[in-house]
Structure 1
Amino acid sequence: MFHKEGHKIIFITLVAVVAGCLLVDSFVSIYWLRTLILIALVIFLILILQFFRNPKRNTVLNDKQVVSPVDGKVVVIEEVFEKEYFNEKRLQVSVFMSPINVHVTRYPISGKVVFSKYHPGKYLVAWHPKASEENERTTVVVENNTYGKVLHRQIAGALAKRIVNYAKVDDAAVQGGESGFIKFGSRVDLFLPLNTNIKVALNQKVRGGESIIAQLNE
């Protein structure tokens, strides 16, 4: 299954690859060169298909837990001052996505969308310390009665040139449901209450909608 954000790009890529294969087969007479170009075209198509794949995820709904919004690797776990929405200290957990990861963004908790804002910006590499404040990004805050408010921020990277955000204020968010999509390499930051019990470690690989990032301390 492929994500709807990729349908147009997949179609254009497929047409271009087929046309390229026909042209190469017709006009390149050197066997090894023709074979090399055909293999490169097929690999390019496979990479595009892989990037826009949208596998089904089995989210276990739990208002006391925060699930990972994306696939990737945990690169930041620290206490920070979040100044866009909360204006107070929060626990930040950041997940970096490489171009080969699934790039669907999912709601980390169920609840009501109380804030959603897009920011144009730069395209620093996603792991840059200033990427969270200076890159193109969207900020979404979901609130429920159990966990309170959880902020997740999509951040464009050096290769990501478009962030898609589906969340609108007053929307009903379902944990693990689609919140957006980021095209070609990026990062997502989570900002959690200080009384959160973090359940992941640095460099741990996580799966969007399934891996538990944190849960409330009892």
Structure 2
Amino acid sequence: MTQSPAVPTPAPQGPVRLGERAARTLTAELARHHGSKTALLVGAQADTAVLDAAISALLPGDVLTVVPAGPGDAAQLRTYIAAHGPWVADRIQIVDELAEAQPSEIVLVAVPLTGTVDETRTALTELGAQLAKGGVLTVAVPAMPGRTEGAGAELDRQAALFGVGTDLVLLNQPPLRIHRLRFTPAEVATAGRLAPVYRPSSVPITRTMHIDSNGVAAAGIALGLAALAKITRPKSRLWLLPALAAAPVAAFFRDPERDLPDDETAVVAAADGRVLSVERLTDERFGDGEFLRVAVFLSVLDVHVNRSPVAGKVVDYFVADGGFAAAMKPAAEHNVAAYTVLDTERGTVVVAQRTGLIARRIVQRAPVGALLAKGERIGLIRFGSRTDVYLPAEAADPLVGPGDKVIGGASVIARWR
């Protein structure tokens, strides 16, 4: 057996290992698909975090094809997989070379890419040929300078053209950037079979509470300022101000787990907050016909992580210029806003993230082409703000009114007819 050209070779500084967190991120696309699916794992070795994460993601009806990392790995893989019992062994097949595998809906590369630009481009071409229509290729690359010969730059270029998600995994040695690429369009209906994707940007604090990476960074800056103040002015208590601010700043970026309603017709809130208005309107930017718009105001005490209200495919994203009026005021209609446009089986749905008097920073993490599950995190707005959901008026009935309190990803704000 010869090693497939698409299997990456070790980095010059030695092999790059994927820890548990990186492995979970790499296999997130496999884990989120409900129902039967086909997947291909390239460059696998026995008793590794990536293989274990892929095995854990298997469901009845799934087929996982494994390409060993090297000539000596096939026998070890067969022994390791057989030890998991017939339920796992019946769903995994091992092939000697990539060319022997059938096209799959999900292709995962177990070894980070570390080659030159040309080598990386060749590997991506070979791996992309193994994708079924609308399938996703997930690959990792070291995020530290000097750990690749050009793979990082080429993957950044490919992600700009075909990326449907990128995650930075800092808790790995070395840190990794993991890209999800889709080279052919996906069917909108596929989004309805997905669970919200796992994202390492949400750092777990407890089983049910996470902190967004923006909060970790903000708290780190506050603590850094406290340390600097303590060093430069040791007799002053000025350092207490940033030190005491670190906890509430981190709390602002809290990202709790949410239980989604088990109702296919439910449209969930895109954000925590209080309903400002429910109205019918037209907006030529999103097409003909009327839209039902539910506007929600987020105070500084609310969770500011935004979620997709429905399952759909991101087909457009744009930012409209404007002012920074208080988000609860009518003038906020003309504030700076980011619009994420979704194609769904019921029509066009839009999520508008609007800035406020204090909020000046919108984070959006759902690139065009991405498939979003209902309730999936799409980004956040820093400090007080407003989030609007536009639904096709002829297809949905509102279930909330002005003054109602809603919880992002959990409260039902409308129901499809």
* Bin of the TM-score, shorter chain as denominator length: 0.7 to 0.9
- 1:126 is matched with 327
Q: CA deviation at 1:6?
A: 2.3
Q: CA deviation at 1:125?
A: 1.2
Identity %: 30
1:184 has 2:383 as partner: yes
Q: CA deviation at 1:206?
A: 0.8
- 1:57 is matched with 258
- 2:365 is matched with 166
Q: CA deviation at 1:20?
A: 4.4
- 1:11 is matched with 220
Q: Which has the larger radius of gyration?
A: 2
- 1:82 is matched with 283
- 2:235 is matched with 27
1:90-118 C-alpha deviation (Å, 9 max, x unpaired): 11110100111111110000121122112
CA RMSD between the two structures: 2.1
Distance 1:121 1:6 in 2: 26
Specify which structure has the bigger relative contact order, considering alpha-carbon pairs within 8 angstroms and separated by 6 or more residues: 1
State the SS of the aligned residue for 2:220. Answer: helix
Distance 1:138 1:61 in 2: 29
Distance 1:98 1:39 in 2: 26
Preserved CA contact (<8 Å) 2:218 2:246: no
- 1:175 is matched with 374
State the SS of the aligned residue for 2:315. Answer: strand
- 1:67 is matched with 268
- 1:205 is matched with 405
Distance 2:290 2:413 in 1: 18
1:175-198 C-alpha deviation (Å, 9 max, x unpaired): 111111111110011111223221
Which structure has the highest strand share of the two? Answer: 1
Distance 2:240 2:405 in 1: 31
| Runs of 5+ unmatched residues, structure 2 | 1-209
State the SS of the aligned residue for 1:14. Answer: helix
Cα distance change of structure 1 residues 187 and 163 upon mapping to structure 2, 3 Å threshold:
same
Structure 1 stretch 83-92 or stretch 167-176: which is displaced more?
83-92
Distance 1:43 1:98 in 2: 21
State the SS of the aligned residue for 2:400. Answer: coil
TM-score, normalisation: structure 2: 0.46
- 2:354 is matched with 155
Q: CA deviation at 1:27?
A: 2.4
Q: CA deviation at 1:22?
A: 7.0
1:114 has 2:322 as partner: no
Distance 1:61 1:83 in 2: 33
State the SS of the aligned residue for 2:328. Answer: coil
Which one-letter code corresponds to 1:75 in the other structure? Answer: L
- Across the two proteins, how many residue pairs are aligned to each other? 207
State the SS of the aligned residue for 2:255. Answer: coil
Preserved CA contact (<8 Å) 1:70 1:95: yes
- 1:31 is matched with none
State the SS of the aligned residue for 2:250. Answer: helix
Distance 2:375 2:230 in 1: 40
State the SS of the aligned residue for 1:123. Answer: coil
Preserved CA contact (<8 Å) 2:354 2:387: yes
Preserved CA contact (<8 Å) 1:50 1:100: no
Distance 2:270 2:415 in 1: 14
Distance 1:39 1:87 in 2: 56
TM-score, normalisation: structure 1: 0.85
Q: CA deviation at 1:61?
A: 5.5
State the SS of the aligned residue for 1:2. Answer: strand
| Runs of 5+ unmatched residues, structure 1 | 29-33
1:12-45 C-alpha deviation (Å, 9 max, x unpaired): 0122234446777x424xxxxx6xx677555422
Q: CA deviation at 1:87?
A: 4.1
- 1:97 is matched with 298
